[in-house]
Amino acid sequence: TLVVRNDAYWKPGKPYLDEIELIGIADDSARLNALLSGGMDLVAMVNPRSVSRVKGTPGYAIMTTQSGQYSDLIMRKDVGPGTNPDFILGMKYLLDRQQMKQAIALGNAVVANDQPIDPTNRFYFKDLPQRPFDPEKAKFHLRKAGVSGKVQVVTSPAALYSVETALVLQQAAQRVGVELDIKRMPVDGYWSNHWLNSHVGFGNVNPRPSADTIFTQFFKSDAPWNESRWKNPKFDQLLVAARGETDFAKRKQMYADMQTMVHEEAGIGIPLFLSSIDAHTTKLKGLSPIPLGGLMGYMFAENVWIDA
């Protein structure tokens, strides 16, 4: 995609660049090599294991943005083992969040709590008790659910860190006598063929601008992207009521109640809120983190320039 400067843009003096060319490169290594070989000025979604390579290459730098992005374990509540609430709860207790933060994200994340509102959001409910990694509780609930045989878990590099997360989860499950059969699918076709269709799988959700947006798109009973098919009429009523509530304290309590419901009832395990890691040439100026997402909350185009 080639975009050119709009001289009639409503912000005087912006954008600074005459044109920007956007190129999609799905493979992590190929995308990074395109930057370090001089073919690109800015690349998104760098693997944390490549950060030291970028920083160690003269003329290149990293921009890290902590945001509400997450990859989630999805357990559909309408089919498969997720129809049993004990299976869902047992799997949530198998999420070793601290290990995942250090070993998978290399510290580029904050621990999440199985609900989608992150600490950068003004409606984040910090007093919701953190669900711990607890193999004994996991074993209790998985046995109560009657889990037998292999449980298939579908994953793909398309969902950021989901392959690594699935492997850590598989190791934890072995400790409690449950065998997870990890099915790694290719990037191409994952979102159309497997996401929303697998009984147990993974998704990846980019930051949303408001609590209402993410709840409406992913957790409302009739949402097309309701990943676990969780349906709660009380949640739906609270969601609609919160939109019209002008008392900030009351509205914040509504969102706290909704976070609690998702945490306790939905078939979604959210172990981490992930940082967006972007890499760029040091000649590119004007970059700064914006929590709405990577690449300055996707608004880099009007803010950057090249220092010749």
Residue ranges covered by each domain of the chain:
2-66+275-306, 67-209+268-273
186: helix, coil or strand? coil
Is the CB of residue 272 less than 8 Å from the CB of residue 100? yes
pLDDT of residue 248: 97
Is the CB of residue 109 less than 8 Å from the CB of residue 101? yes
Domain 67-209+268-273 falls in which CATH fold?
Dipeptide-binding Protein; domain 3 (3.10.105)
Is the CB of residue 17 less than 8 Å from the CB of residue 5? yes
Question: For residue 260, what are the contacts with CB-CB under 8 A and spacing of at least 6?
Answer: 115, 125, 128
pLDDT of residue 230: 98
* φ, ψ dihedrals at 62, nearest 5°: -120, 140
pLDDT of residue 293: 84
AA letter at 17: L
Strand 150-155 relative to strand 179-184, pairing = parallel
pLDDT of residue 235: 98
Question: How far is the C-alpha of 250 from the C-alpha of 244, rounded, in Å?
Answer: 11
pLDDT of residue 27: 84
Other beta carbons within 10 Å of 177:
10
Residue 67 token pair: 């945001």
For residue 15, say if its preceding peptide bond is cis, omega within 30 degrees of 0: yes
pLDDT of residue 12: 92
pLDDT of residue 59: 97
Question: How far is the C-alpha of 14 from the C-alpha of 2, rounded, in Å?
Answer: 17
Q: Which residues does the chain have with pLDDT short of 70? A: none
DSSP-derived secondary structure for 81-117: GGGSHHHHHHHHHT--HHHIIIIISTT-EEE--SSS-
Question: How far is the C-alpha of 74 from the C-alpha of 52, rounded, in Å?
Answer: 32
pLDDT in tens, 28-40: 899 999 999 999 9
Question: How far is the C-alpha of 169 from the C-alpha of 148, rounded, in Å?
Answer: 17
43: helix, coil or strand? strand
pLDDT of residue 26: 81
Residue 42 token pair: 């800015």
Question: How far is the C-alpha of 272 from the C-alpha of 116, rounded, in Å?
Answer: 10
pTM: 0.90
Largest CA distance in the chain: 65
Question: How far is the C-alpha of 271 from the C-alpha of 162, rounded, in Å?
Answer: 11
251: helix, coil or strand? helix
pLDDT in tens, 97-133: 999 999 999 999 999 999 999 999 999 999 999 999 9
Domain 2-66+275-306 falls in which CATH fold?
D-Maltodextrin-Binding Protein; domain 2 (3.40.190)
Degrees to nearest 5, angle at CA 92 with 90 and 94: 75
pLDDT of residue 68: 94
Residue 66 token pair: 């902590």
> For residue 33, with 0-12 CB atoms within 10 Å meaning exposed, 13-18 middle and 19 or more buried, which class applies?
middle
Question: How far is the C-alpha of 109 from the C-alpha of 18, rounded, in Å?
Answer: 35
pLDDT of residue 28: 86
pLDDT of residue 125: 98
pLDDT of residue 281: 98
Q: CA dist 98 to 31, 153, 222, Å?
A: 29, 21, 34
**Same CATH fold, 67-209+268-273 and 2-66+275-306?**
no
